[in-house]
Structure 1
Amino acid sequence: MELRNFVKPTRDQLDRLHRLRLFSSEAPAFWAQFTEVAQEMTGASQARSIVRLDGTWNLLAASPSAGVNHRAFLQQDLEAQAALALESGRGVVAPAESKTGALHVLQALQTEATSTACLLELRFVSGEQPAPEAEIWSSLLPLLADTPRIYQKNRAAVEMRQDVDRMREALDVLAVVNGHNKFAPASMALVNEVTSRLEAERACLGWVKSPYVRVVAVSGTEKFERKMEILQDLEAAMEECRDQDEELVWPASSNSSAICHDHDVYSRKSESACLLSVPIRNGNEVVGVLTVERPSPPFTESEAWGLRVVGDQIAPRLTDLKEKSRWFGARWAASVREQLAKALSPKHTWLKFAAIVTSAILLFSILVPFTYRVSATFIIRPDSLAHLPAPYEGFIAQAGVRPGDLVVNGQTLLALDDRDLTIQRAETMAEIRRHRANAELAEAEGNLAELRVSRAQQSQAEARLDFLEYQLGRSEVKAPFDGVVVQGDLRERIGAPVQQGEVLLQVSKLDGLYVEIRLPERDIDLIGQHRSGLIVFSSRPDLQFPVEVEMISPAATPEGEGNMFILRARLLEEADWLRPGMSGVARLDGGDRTLAWRATHRIVDFIRMRVWF
C-alpha cells in the first residue's frame, strides 16, 4: 500500500534514524525519539510505541509528545489487529473505531527478546489513508521495524565494554591494595586511588565496628581527630548506607526510593555538593562503607556501579588484613583464663583445666558406647533387565527415548530405516504379479513346463515377500514391559548403521529393585548377626533409606582396592525417583562400639597383622 500524501523521507530524517540505530543512552530516551522519527517519516498525525507485558499492552512513547490524544488510538480492536500484525510481521491497516475516516497502521517491531511483543501504531487522518503499492510498505516500515533490535544490540555491546572497563579498574585498585600487608596502609592506598580515579575531592573508608561504622582512612590525611563533629556526621552517613545495604548517591534522583537524610546533612556541613557511598560486602555481610565526595559533577549510575565492583573485589582482602591486625586470640584466652580461675583455684589454672577436660574425654570415649556403622559403597540393581538388539542390519531412523525415560509395555522405543525394505517389498509384489501373469499365459497356451516354472518363481517371490513383511514388522523396537530405559542414548546416532544383534537399548523394570553392597573384607566380621543399615544416595544426600541385608556372598571377589564381599539388601522404603544404576554410601549396623575403639581398631588390627607369633 501507499499514502496518497506520502512524501519520501528527507536526508535529515534518514540521518536521524541512522543515529537512532547507534543510540547508546537509556531505553526511554530511545523510544521517545524513535516514535517521533517514525511519525515524521511516515507523515502520520499521531504515533505510539507499545509493548505487551503480562498480557497487557503498555505505552513506551507517543508522538507528538505534547497534546497527543491517546483515545484516538485503537482500544477495543487492538488485540485482534495486533495479533495479525505480529503474525504477518508486516504492516496491517485497520479502520478507526470511531466514524472519523481515519486509518491505523500497526507494524510489528523486532527486538532482541523474541518473547516480547512490540508494536508501532501510526494514525492517519482522513485524506491520508493508505492505498496499494507504496514505498512506505516496501522499505520504510521494515527499516523502522528493525531499528529497535539494532539499538538493543548496540546498547548491549556498549554495556559489555563498560563492564569490562569497570572490572579492569577494579583489578587495578585491587593490585594497589594487594601491595600492602597491613590494614592501615592498604586502606590509605585504597582511598587515595579512588580519589584519583574519580577525580574526587576526598574519599573516606569506614569499617564496621558493631554496631557502628567508624572511619579508618581519609584520602590525603594520615591522622584525624575522631571527635570532630564533621567526622561524626560522615559516620552517620556511612551507617545510613550500611543500614540500607545499597549504593547512595547525593543529590538523589527523582525516582530514587532510598533515604539520604544523613547524606544531605553531611553534604551541607562539609560543603561537598556531590556524594557517593557504596557498601563493601564480604559475602552477604556489609563490613565497610566507601564514601566519595566532590563539588561537581554529580556521580552517575555508571560510576556507582564501577565503585561497587571495586568494593566487591577489595572486600575479602581488606577483611583478611583487618583480622590479622587484631590479636583476638590473646584477648579471648585471657578472658577464658580469668573465668576458669574463679571457678577452680588461683594456682595452676590451665594445668588443672586441661587435666579435667582430658580425663573427662578419655572416660567418655572408653566407657560410653554408640551404635557403630560400617561404611561401604552400593549400587541399585534390577531383578529384570531386557537387552534390545537390532532386529536386522540397517540404519537408525528415529529414537524416541533416552536413559531415564519411563516406558510402557509395547511402546515404540526406536525405529530402523525401512525405506529399502519397503522398496524391496514393492519390487517383490511386482515380481509376484509378473510371475502370476506368466503362469496364466502359460496355462492359456497349454505350456505346462513354463506354467510350472512361473508358479515356482511366484512361490519363491511370495516367500521372499513374507520375509520382507516379517522384517518390516520388526523395524520398530518396542518395550517388552513397563519400566525405565537404563542405557542407550541413540539421539546422536540417527542415520548411523547398526549390525544385526547389536544391543541398542537396555530396559529395566522399576519393581524388584535391590541394593548391591560391596563390603571390604576387613569389615565383614563386624556385621555378625546385624542385618540392618542405612543408605544415602549420591544424588540425594539429604535422605536416608533403611535396608535389610538378605544375603552375603559366600566368597570374596578380588578387586583393585582389595577383596570385596557382595551383599544383597532389600529396600524397606521406596521412592518414585529410584532408578537402576544409582549409587551412594551404605552404613551397616556393626553393634555398639566406644569412641576409643573407633579411633584405635584400625591401628590395632594393623599391628596384629604385622606382629604375631
Structure 2
Amino acid sequence: MAEIHSSLPDSTQQLNRLLDTQHENWHFIWLDWVCSQLPQVDGALIVADESQSGQFHALAVWPEVAENNSGNADNSHQDKLLQDAAEQTLIKKQPLITPLNDGKHHIGSYPVFVEGKLSAVITLMFTAQDEAQLHKALAVIEYCSGWLELRLARNILATLASDNERQHIVIDSIAHVASENYFEHAALRFVNLMGKHLNTERVVLGFVKNDELVIHSQSDSSEQSKKHELVKLTTQAMQEATDQQESVLWPAPSDQNRITQAHSKLAVEKGQRSLMSVPLIDKELCYGTVLFERSPEHPFTHQDQLTAEALTNFVGVVLEEKRQSNLPLYSYFLRSLRNQLSRLFGSGYLMRKITVFILLLVSLFFSLMPGAYNISAETVIEGAELRAIVVPFDGYLQTADLRAGDSVQKGDLLAELDTSELRLQRMSWISQQATSMRQYEDALAKQELTKVQISSAQRKRAQAEIELLDYQISQATMVAPFNALIVSGDLNQRIGSQLRQGDVLFELSPSQRFRLAMYVDEFRINDINHAQTGRLVLAALPDQKFSFTLTRINPMAEVRDGATVYRVEAELNNSADVLRVGLEGVAQIYVDQRLLITIWTRSMVDWMKLQWWRFWG
C-alpha cells in the first residue's frame, strides 16, 4: 500500500480539483485521475445512483468519445464489455475481475457503498501480466474510490439538508397561513411567504373558476403590475401551466419538455424576467396556479422548483380549504357536482362509468317493466264459526275428558253433569202426580167439583215438573254438534265442582271450515276491495301456498304491534287437513298490474307527499 501512496500524484492543483465535489465535470476529472494511476488502461466507466432512487445511470466514460473517433466499432465493443461487467457487479454486489480472451486484458469492477447501500460501480479495462498486478490494480481502484464515496456522501448530506430546510419552510408556512381567520388575509400571507422563501420580486396567485384561471392576489401591489396588458399576459402564462398541470420555467432548462409560449411573451413584456409557474393540484384536480418572477440574473433552478412545489402542494391545500369554507353553500354544491360529472364523462374512472351505466340500465328496465302489485299483510287462521258449550243448569260436573286442541266428531261426548239429584226430584214429582191422580178420582166419584179442580191442577203441575226434569236430565249430557276442534276449555281438574248456569265449558270451531283474518296497514287500505284474491304462506308450511278471496273489510281501525291496521277477512279457496286454527303467516293480496318502479317507490312517494303537506300545506 506504501507503494501505491508513493505513486499517487501530489499535485496541489489536482487535489483541489478533486476536493471540489460540486464541479459539474467532477466525474470525468476523477475518472481521468484514476486511469492515470494505472498503466495501460484502455477504458473506464462510472455507474451511480446519485438521486438515491434505485435507478443507476452512466455518469462518465473514459476515454471520451471525442478523443478517438477512428475506432467506433472497437469503442462500442469495449463499452458493451464495461456495461456487462457493471451489471454483474450490481447484481452480485462484490468486486469482480474478469479476464478477456486474449489472456492479457482484464475488466475490474468495484462496488462503492455509502451507509451500507450500493451507490456506484467503477469498471476499468486494463492490462495485467500477472496476479500481483491484478491485486495492485484492485487496490488502486479501492483507494481511489474513497473520493467517489466522499462525493456521493456529500451529495446525500446536501440532499438531506435541503430536504430538512424545505420541510421547515413548509411547516412554518402552513402555521402562518392556518393562523389567519379569513381567506383574503391567508391568501396575501401565502404569496408574501412564497416570495420570501424563493427570493422573488413578484408572486401571483390565481384560482380556476369555470375552467378559466382568475388572478386572486399578488405580492406586488404597484400600479405597473395592474396594467391591463400585463394582467392579461400573466393570466395566459398561469393558464398555460394550469392546462399542462406541470411546473413551467422560463428560461426553459434543457430537460424541460413543455409549452412556454405564454411565458416567453410575459418575459419579453417584463424585460426578459425569469419566470416559474407551479400549478396547485389536489387529488388530480388543478384548482389554481402560482407564478413567480425575479430578475434575469437569477434564473430559477431545479432546487427552486422543488421548494415551490413542496410549498404549493402542502400550504396550497390549507389555503384551498379556507377558500372552500368561505364559499356559499350553492357554490360548494355546484363545484362538487361539476367535479363528479367531469370524472364521469372525462377520462379514467372506468369502474365508476361501468357502475353508473349498469344502474341506468337497471333503472330503465324497472321503469318500463310491469309487475304484479301485491299488498302484504300479517294473517291469522280463524274458524269459520265459534260455538260455545255452556252449562244448561246449576249442577256438579261429573265427566269431562277432553281439553283444548282435541278434535271431536259430531255426537261425541264432551262433558256430563251429575243428574242424581234431578232423578230424585223426578221420583218425588211422580209420587205427587200419583197422589193427585187418586185425589182427583175420589173427588170426581163424590162429585166434589172444587176438589176435582184442585186435584187436576196439582196433577198438571207434577206433570210439568217431571217434563222439566226430563229435559234437564237430557241436557246434562253435552255432545259435539258437528265435527270440530276444541279451541278452549280444560275441565279435567274440576270434576265434582259446582257449575253455574251459563258458564262456558268449551269453545268449538269447525275442523274443515276456516276464515282468514288479515291486518292491512292504513296506508294501503284504500287499495283493498271486496272479491280481491291473493295467496297465503304460513310460517308452519312455507312450501305451500293457499289461495283466498276477500269477503269483508272491517271499517274500524285498530292498533296492532304499534301500527294502525284494518282487519280484512277472507275465505280460503282450497282447504287442507294440515290447517289449524291459530296458524299465522303472510298474505299477498293482488291489486293490479303496475310498473315495477312505481310499486317499489310507492311507500317513499307517499311519505314524501305527507311530509310536504305537513310542512307546506
TM-score relative to the length of structure 2: 0.46
